[in-house]
Structure 1
Amino acid sequence: MHIDKKDLIEFDNGNMNTQEVIEFLSHLDHCDFCLDQMMEQEDSSTDTAPSYLMEQILTKADSGEVQLARAANKASRKMQLLHYSLQTAAGVIVALLLLFSIPNLDFTSLHQDTSSQINKTLPEHEDSRLYQFTRELGQNIGDGTSSFIKYISDFSSKLMNGGK
């Protein structure tokens, strides 16, 4: 036998005694039809909070501790945004630095045919090519940095002087 609407209403209102509640829940555990009916009734019910709670909720929302928690949450989000913005700016600066400092390097000078080389030690001319490469790398990084700084300086002076 299935649960009728009257029993569902009594269960929602809390009018059942302990034994009836146990029997009701036991039946719902075994009967999917009644469980579906109860779920439909729960979905269609328009229970609202008691009216006396509205004033308490509004008072609590206006209290200092809730406002402080809300402000802390906003500040935390702003700090996260600042942190991510700084990370992005640092990445862009490093990318621009690399873009301006390394375009003149010849990486093909380091490529060597390893199949024809039997000896693992670097001959004298290979050692000088490596030295030349690192010297050019350092020089180009320095040149790129100075050109980047000059570009930023020109840009900032134009901003400060109104585009002049």
Structure 2
Amino acid sequence: MHINKKDLIEFDNGNMNTQEVIEFLSHLDHCDFCLNQMIEQENNSTDTAPSYLMEQILDKAGSGEVQLARAANQASRKIQLLHYSLQTAAGVMVALLLLFSIPNLDFTSLHQDTSSQTDRILPEHENGRLYQFTRELGQNIGDGTGSFIKYISDFSSKLMNGGK
């Protein structure tokens, strides 16, 4: 005995009880003819979404819950951007702090034999005033950075020691 069209339609609609579904599937397991009929019906059926589904989806999309989740997601992205921006700024600040906290070295003392060659190559006006200006600028930056580092060190030690 083969499965009739009515049973196939009931199975598609989900109108069968558990016992009927078990019998239906066990019959399909043993009968290739009924299985081919079911496959053919599935291929020929043009199931579309129910008409009320679009309204439900649009209502759900407009609900406060979904809007809140979307706003939270956008805020999360902005917070991540702020976090990475602060990390980058902190890295740049540390790099600049390290750059300017290196003691002001006089490289002419390291290469005394080439200092006389440098004096001969540079024009007279650059040899005096420009050299003096850059040397004083470097000294001032080094002094300012040193005092800044001392202030940060004192502040952090007071913070770690509870204000003592």
Do the structures match in fold with TM over 0.5?
no
Of Structure 1 and Structure 2, the greater helix share is in: 2
Structure with the larger RCO, 1 or 2 (CA within 8 Å, 6+ apart): 1
Bigger radius of gyration among the two: 2
TM-score, structure 2 normalization: 0.41
TM-score, structure 1 normalization: 0.41
